[in-house]
Structure 1
Amino acid sequence: MQLTRIANDQITVDVAALGAEMQSIQTRDGRHWLWHGDAAHWTGRSPILFPIVGKAPNDTISVEGLRLQMSQHGFARRSNFELVVEESDRCVYRLTASEASRAMYPFDFQLDVEHVVEGRAVVVSTEVTNRDHRVMPFGIGFHPAFAWPLPGAEGRPHLVELDEGGAPALHRLSGGLVEPEALPSPFENGRLVLEQNLFAQDAMLFPEGAGAGLLYGPEAGPQVHFTWENLPNFALWTKPGGDFICLEPWHGTAAEVGGSDELGERPFSELLGPGARARYSFRAELRG
């Protein structure tokens, strides 16, 4: 696997060409904060979701009358990106439209994924460019898996505490599609104590969003302050038995149960005009 390493005097980050996916975040004391990866539970570590987030009905989308096969979370995470910028503390990988991608997604696009280290933080940004002559619909999202428990916090309860407080409504999945019924929020005054049984019914979705930041970790000790921009939807997920928690800000969700398979009609789909660009990002600051 081709890897690019970026670092400063605080942290080291490895990024793979496959999927432009971050593989590790390590502080200079040797602690690993990103999940180590274990195919017995899940093959990802921090995949980029494009051009859809979540599933499509029967793994099929419709675009301008065409019916096209599209697997869960899109094809970017399974694609080889080109390294276009390599600096000591920053790298940029790029994916552009190809014959293979047009068979699934008939648009001329450019997807740049940038990783930057800043002190004890890593910033991951994507920039989507529509190089086509028509409006380009898509969904995009991040799916980083952080260690649960965090290094040095074994045996201690971990929480997710929303920066803006509140109690966002919960939605569940059925067959990978979003149930439109809103359920009571699991958050109380912006706080949620993480337990494996919360994920017995798959991911916890908050389609209307959960603000723009949160604190993950135990009450005291190692924590991750996680913030995001231009990503109105949010989810939490783990595979029961896995020692990770995914903090997932998105722009776009899976299709709804009973909803359209038209790409542009999926909830919160982006509709990017010809020649336009859009940027999305998250920042993970390691504390403690």
Structure 2
Amino acid sequence: MIITISNTKISATINSIGAELIRLEKDNKNYIWTVDETYWNKTSPILFPIVGRLKNDSYSINNTTFELPRHGFARNYDFQIVNQTENSVLFQLESNSETLKNYPFDFQLQLEYVLEGNSLKTKYSIVNKSNTTMPFSIGAHPAFAIDNNFKDYSLRFNKEDKFISFELENEQFNNSFKEISTVNNTISLDYSLFEKDALVFKHLNSNELTLLENEQEVLSVQFDGFPYLGIWTKPNAPFLCIEPWCGLADNVNHNGELSVKEGINLLEKDATFNRTMIIRL
């Protein structure tokens, strides 16, 4: 089901499959990229219960091995619409017989989209309904449209940082890293930055970044409480993904045990985990 919410400033369109944002419009301009499967077939998938790829696409819990695809399964499920108003919609996914085969925990996952002025708030909520501690990751993956020359765009961070990107090899961290050059906390975009997959930053001081075109602000993304940030595109693709994460792909040396995976979150029985990402146009 396709749902559109709006206020006097902006509108957002979401697909109930994956509760995936597919359009975000202001003044008849869509800021989310339009799918071209030549490059990629998603617009803003939710990453749950893992972020990135597992070593051998598998993990273990108490000596039992399970398999999960890259970024988990939530993005492929049809979410229930719990509540909808003119400017908000609440989606929900609960564990079921299929999810339990690959992820043996009972959970409730909610995504709520709320429009406030020129901003879209995306609220993530996870409830552990199991009788044991639940290890999980969650992340956002919105792809923003790049309408013109990629080199005309840049990313400005809101705080002083040393931009160390941890490198991926076959979608796993290989213990190598590089420092990304900046001027006044701003990264000038070039496709060459992404020759080895995404830029991945850990524990930045910044909690907001702004996408600029020819030094003019296009949009900003605020990500309080997300300790990791991925920036990604494909060669010559007309999009840029800005991805706040609470979780990471596996390291090449990881032993497979999910509960000790780098970046994993451990949620106690009946506890709730909340995060909010804000996109401002």
Q: Which category of TM-score, normalised to the shorter sequence, fits these structures?
A: over 0.9
Q: TM-score, normalised to structure 1's length? A: 0.94
Report the AA paired with residue 144 of structure 1. Answer: P
Paired position in structure 1 for 2:13: 14
The answer to whether residue 134 in structure 2 is matched with residue 139 in structure 1 is no
Q: Shift in Å at residue 281 of structure 1? A: 1.6
Instruction: Decide whether the 8 Å contact of 2:151 with 2:190 is kept in 1.
Output: no
Report the AA paired with residue 211 of structure 1. Answer: S
Distance 2:160 2:29 in 1: 29
Q: Secondary structure at the match of 2:193?
A: helix
Paired position in structure 1 for 2:113: 115
- Structure 1, unmatched stretches of 5+, are none
Paired position in structure 1 for 2:68: 70
Instruction: Decide whether the 8 Å contact of 1:157 with 1:194 is kept in 2.
Output: yes
Q: Deviations over 1:109-152 (max 9, x none)?
A: 00000111111111111100001111000010000000113xxx
Distance 2:272 2:187 in 1: 35
Q: TM-score, normalised to structure 2's length? A: 0.96
Paired position in structure 2 for 1:237: 232
Paired position in structure 2 for 1:277: 272
Distance 1:227 1:65 in 2: 39
Distance 1:60 1:268 in 2: 16
Report the AA paired with residue 57 of structure 1. Answer: K
Considering fraction of residues, name the structure with more strand.
2
Aligned residues: CA RMSD = 1.4
Instruction: Decide whether the 8 Å contact of 1:158 with 1:193 is kept in 2.
Output: yes
Instruction: Decide whether the 8 Å contact of 2:134 with 2:267 is kept in 1.
Output: yes
- What fraction of aligned residue pairs are identical, expressed as a percent? 28
Q: Deviations over 1:56-98 (max 9, x none)?
A: 0111111222111100000001111101011100001100010
Q: Secondary structure at the match of 1:77?
A: helix
Instruction: Decide whether the 8 Å contact of 1:68 with 1:105 is kept in 2.
Output: yes
Paired position in structure 2 for 1:158: 153
Matched ranges for 1:192-203 at <5 A: 192-203=187-198
Equivalenced residues, count: 281
- Structure 2, unmatched stretches of 5+, are none
Paired position in structure 2 for 1:215: 210
Matched ranges for 1:19-98 at <5 A: 19-27=18-26, 29-98=27-96
Instruction: Decide whether the 8 Å contact of 1:53 with 1:141 is kept in 2.
Output: yes
Distance 2:280 2:106 in 1: 34
Q: Shift in Å at residue 222 of structure 1? A: 4.6
Q: Which runs of 4+ in 1 moved over 6 A?
A: none
